[in-house]
Amino acid sequence: MSGFTGFVLRRVVGVLITLLAISVIIYVVFYVTPGNVAQITCGPRCSPAQVQQVADQLRLDDPLYVRYWHFLEGLVAGQDYSTGTAVQHCPAPCLGLSYQSDQQVTQLILTKLPVSLSLVFGSMVIWLILGVGTGVLSAWRRGRLTERVLTGITLVGVATPVFVIGLVLMIVVCGELELLPFPQYVKLTDDPEQWAWNLLLPWLSLALIEAAAFARLTRSSMLETLAEDHIRTFRAYGVGERSVIWRHALRGAFAPVIALNANNVGSAVGGAVLTETLFGLPGIGRELVHAVDVVDLPVVVGMVLVVGFFVVIANALADVLYAVADRRVVLA
């Protein structure tokens, strides 16, 4: 298994390098924006003294690379911010201070992250079951009525915006049928049952759209696998169709599904803005949009980094899963 361990190690190194590259780009892009960075960061209502304090804390007099190095240092070791009279300690991983909301960026993200992760991972379970199931079924029943109906539904799913599905779900389930109360975020640690009930509709509306993409992908890669020689072998040996489909054909469709899933989970952590907004979930996506809106630079940098982190980690994880599913990958 040394080949496999080596493969995982290489992936980890790759992740670190990618993250470093992302951080450089984000940092440079945001802090080289035109205009007075201290003024922008501090917000429009800041007094000149406050702006000067921000400029000091951001070390705007230092060259860019020194500032970046300092930023990395804060990430690894934490940082102290002096306000002249008092010292505020920002523990590692420190992503800086949000002067506009008067919070540490790390703290801000930590309050939003569980919401986004709850939404995305819960939804993922649903979209995988729904999407892969539909895909398998429509590959199996190719050319029959079942497939046409399923293809139609997934087409509608791909084409419908999340706010339409979400709104319809809310109106029907909460408004008309009154099966559920209108969703309101409850922490998993406070009340797991309420957490799940309240997230059910957001999960569904995000999952329905994602599931459509997975259904199409699963269907096409299943059909590809079904046309391969080894499927013919098992049919020629009297292995039943059920076994051929679930054991052999689906296995071949795993790899692309894993890859797409990693990509979608990673980007949904910061990108499920519409769902979060619609259901009033205080997640990363909404906060990011807000931060961009008011140009809260430290928050934007921190959040983009965290989202990037999730995308990269998810993809690296996918590569490893990929290799577990198909050992030939390790050799390549």
Partner 1 sequence: MGLVEVTGLTVGFGELRAVDGLSFRLARGAALALVGESGSGKSTVASALLGLHRGTGAYVGGSVVVAGTDVQEASDDELRRLRGARAAMVFQDPLSSLDPYYAIGDQIAEVYRVHTRASRRAARARAVEVLDRVGIPDAVRRSRSRPHEFSGGMRQRALIAMALACEPDLLIADEPTTALDVTVQAQILDLLHTLREETGMGLLLVTHDVGVAAGSVDEILVMRHGRVVEHGPVATVLGAPAHPYTRELLGAVPRVDAPRVDVSGGKVLGVDVSGAAAAGSASSVGVSGALPLTAKDTPPVAATGEVVLEAVGLRREFGRGKRAFAAVDDVSLTVHRGETLGIVGESGSGKTTLGRMLVGLLEPTAGRISPGGGVRPDVQMVFQDPVSSLNPRRSVGESIADPLRARGERDEGGIRERVRELLERVGLEGAHYDRYPHEFSGGQRQRVGIARALAADPRVIVCDEPVSALDVTTQAQVVALLGELRRELGLALVFVAHDLAVVRQVSDRVAVMRGGRIVEYGPVDEVYESPRNPYTRQLLAAVPALDPAVAAARRATRRAARQQLAAV
Asked if 144 interacts with partner 1 (CB under 8 A), we say: no
**Range 311-330, binding partner 1 (CB under 8 A):** 325-328
Nearest to 204 by CA among 130, 265, 257, 269: 130
Asked if 229 interacts with partner 1 (CB under 8 A), we say: yes
Question: Which DSSP category does 90 fall into?
Answer: E
- Tell me the site size for partner 1, rule CB under 8 A: 22
CB 258 → partner 1: shortest distance, Å?
13
Helix (H) or strand (E) holding 37: helix 37-42
Q: Is 152 exposed, middle or buried (0-12, 13-18, 19+ CB in 10 A)?
A: exposed
Asked if 233 interacts with partner 1 (CB under 8 A), we say: yes
Give SS3 for 33.
coil
List the one residue from 1, 32, 177, 331 that touches partner 1 (CB under 8 A): 331
Asked if 239 interacts with partner 1 (CB under 8 A), we say: yes
List the one residue from 180, 234, 292, 313 that touches partner 1 (CB under 8 A): 234
Asked if 238 interacts with partner 1 (CB under 8 A), we say: yes
**Cα 16 to Cα 10, 20, 109, 268, distances in angstroms:** 10, 6, 21, 21
Asked if 230 interacts with partner 1 (CB under 8 A), we say: yes
Give SS3 for 159.
helix
List the one residue from 166, 252, 270, 271 that touches partner 1 (CB under 8 A): 252
Backbone φ, ψ for residue 237 (5° rounding): -105, 15
Q: Which is nearer to partner 1, 45 or 328 (CB)?
A: 328
Q: Using CB under 8 A, which of the segments 60-68, 239-247, 282-290, 299-307 binds partner 1?
A: 239-247
Asked if 142 interacts with partner 1 (CB under 8 A), we say: no
Nearest to 235 by CA among 136, 227, 192: 227
Q: Which residues lie near partner 1 (CB under 8 A)?
A: 228-230, 232-240, 243, 247-248, 251-252, 325-328, 331
